[in-house]
């Protein structure tokens, strides 16, 4: 990481997730070969924090850019760091197809159930009856659909090798998240295919909660819809992937 101050709101999960990715890159000695692609969301300025080569891309297109980048330079370790609006709304096609092709990429997917950067509108991951600025009465399945379970969807694809959902709302969960991020990078180093860590992350500002309450809300509400744990792991069985 670069020695600069985060722009994130107090209590935001992005800062913790950033720190974890940075630590993993350092511990795995990837700084010189890593290239990162942040999403267009609150993490758009991630290039100010990660001390690795970074490229900014159009909203949602991270996986396509990462695909082009990795295919022409397979020695690089390419990761995207995207929010739910980015990865799961505008970029859902890019995400599904990169995963389906088994692109040898690592994705950190920050699921905060809302659009942070643009001021708290509904995301594809917004919970039912959750109030946002564009669902003022609460998300209604009949009108707005139900929250998309991205990791479970991607698990159906042959190209994905490792999918885990974690959270950054407690020291124990933070430790698990770091382990998962490490494993996701290892899958890429081993050339196994597509890996993603979905991180449940608080957005106290747009959830209109105190940071501590937002941590509790993840445990109380979010994990009911987005259960934590390994969703798919075939890394042990794919040693000989080419």
Partner 1 sequence: MTKVLMDGNSAIGEAAIRAGCASYFGYPITPQNELTEYMATNLPKRKGCTFIQAESELSAINMVYGASLAGVRTMTSSSSPGISLKQEGISYLAACELPAVIVNMSRGGPGLGSIAPSQSDYFQATRGGGHGDYRTIVLAPSSVQELADLTHRAFDLADKYKIPVIILGDGMVGQMKEPVEFKHEAPVELPIRSPALRGAQGRPSRIIKVLTSKPVELEELNWSLFRRYQLIKKNETTSETFLTEDAKLVVVAFGSSARIAKGAVKRARESGLKVGLLRPITLWPFPSEAVQALIHQTNHFLVFEMNMGQMLEDVQLALAGKGEISFYGRPGGVIPTPDEVFRVINRLYYQKGLRAEK
Ligand X SMILES: Cc1ncc(C[n+]2csc(CCOP(=O)(O)OP(=O)(O)O)c2C)c(N)n1
Contact residues toward ligand SF4 (CB under 6 A) are 8-9, 12, 14, 42, 112, 116-117, 203-206
CB of 33 to partner 1, least distance (A): 4
Among 36, 38, 116, 147, binds ligand X (CB under 6 A): 116
Residues in 59-98 at the binding interface with partner 1, rule: CB under 8 A: 61, 64-73, 75-77, 93-94, 97
> CA 233 to CA 187: how far, in whole Å?
10
Interaction between residue 17 and ligand X (CB under 6 A): no
Interaction between residue 6 and partner 1 (CB under 8 A): no
Q: How many CB atoms lie within 10 A of CB 3?
A: 6
CB of 197 to ligand SF4, least distance (A): 17
> CA 160 to CA 178: how far, in whole Å?
20
**Which residue(s) pair with 197 in the sheet?**
108, 164
Among 8, 81, 109, 115, binds ligand X (CB under 6 A): 115
Spatial CB neighbours of 100, under 8 Å, sequence gap ≥ 6: 157, 158, 159
Q: What is the DSSP secondary-structure string of 173-204? A: HHHHHHHHHHHHHHHHHTT--EEEEEEE---H
Q: Which one of partner 1, ligand X, ligand SF4, none is in contact with 52 (Cβ closer than 5 to 8 A by kind)? A: partner 1
Per-residue contact flags (x/-) with ligand X for residues 189 to 218, judged by CB under 6 A: ------------------------------
Burial class (CB in 10 A: 0-12, 13-18, 19+), 27: exposed
- Complex with ligand X: residue 49 or 115, whichever CB lies closer: 115
Q: Which one of ligand SF4, ligand X, partner 1, none is in contact with 50 (Cβ closer than 5 to 8 A by kind)? A: partner 1
Interaction between residue 39 and ligand X (CB under 6 A): yes
CA distances, 241 to each of 165, 187, 190, 234 (Å): 24, 11, 9, 11
Interaction between residue 32 and partner 1 (CB under 8 A): yes
Spatial CB neighbours of 232, under 8 Å, sequence gap ≥ 6: 151, 154, 155, 160, 161, 162, 163
Interaction between residue 124 and ligand X (CB under 6 A): no
Interaction between residue 58 and partner 1 (CB under 8 A): yes
Interaction between residue 197 and partner 1 (CB under 8 A): no
Burial class (CB in 10 A: 0-12, 13-18, 19+), 220: exposed
Interaction between residue 41 and ligand X (CB under 6 A): yes
Burial class (CB in 10 A: 0-12, 13-18, 19+), 18: buried
Residues engaged in binding ligand X (CB under 6 A): 39-43, 59, 83-86, 110, 112, 114-118, 123
* Chain positions contacting partner 1, by CB under 8 A: 31-35, 40, 44-45, 47, 50-58, 61, 64-73, 75-77, 93-94, 97, 101
């Amino acid at each position: 990481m670069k020695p600069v101050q985060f722009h994130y709101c107090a209590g935001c999960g992005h800062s913790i997730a950033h720190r974890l990715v940075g630590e993993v890159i350092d511990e795995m000695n990837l700084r010189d070969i890593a290239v990162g692609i942040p999403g267009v969301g609150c993490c758009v300025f991630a290039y100010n924090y990660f001390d690795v080569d970074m490229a900014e891309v159009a909203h949602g297109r991270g996986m396509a850019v990462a695909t082009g980048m990795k295919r022409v330079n397979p020695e690089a370790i390419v990761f995207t760091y995207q929010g739910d609006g980015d990865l799961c709304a505008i970029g859902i096609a890019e995400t599904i197809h990169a995963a389906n092709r088994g692109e040898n990429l690592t994705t950190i997917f920050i699921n905060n159930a809302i659009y942070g950067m643009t001021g708290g509108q509904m995301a594809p991951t917004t919970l039912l009856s959750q109030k946002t600025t564009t669902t003022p009465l609460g998300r209604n399945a009949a009108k707005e659909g139900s929250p998309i379970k991205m990791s479970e969807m991607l698990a159906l694809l042959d190209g994905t090798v490792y999918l885990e959902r974690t959270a950054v709302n407690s020291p124990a969960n933070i430790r698990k998240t770091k382990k998962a991020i490490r494993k996701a990078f290892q899958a890429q180093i081993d050339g196994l295919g597509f890996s993603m860590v979905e991180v449940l992350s608080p957005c106290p500002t747009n959830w209109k909660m105190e940071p501590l309450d937002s941590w509790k809300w993840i445990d109380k509400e979010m994990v009911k819809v987005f259960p934590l744990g390994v969703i798919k792991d075939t890394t042990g069985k794919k040693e000989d992937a080419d």
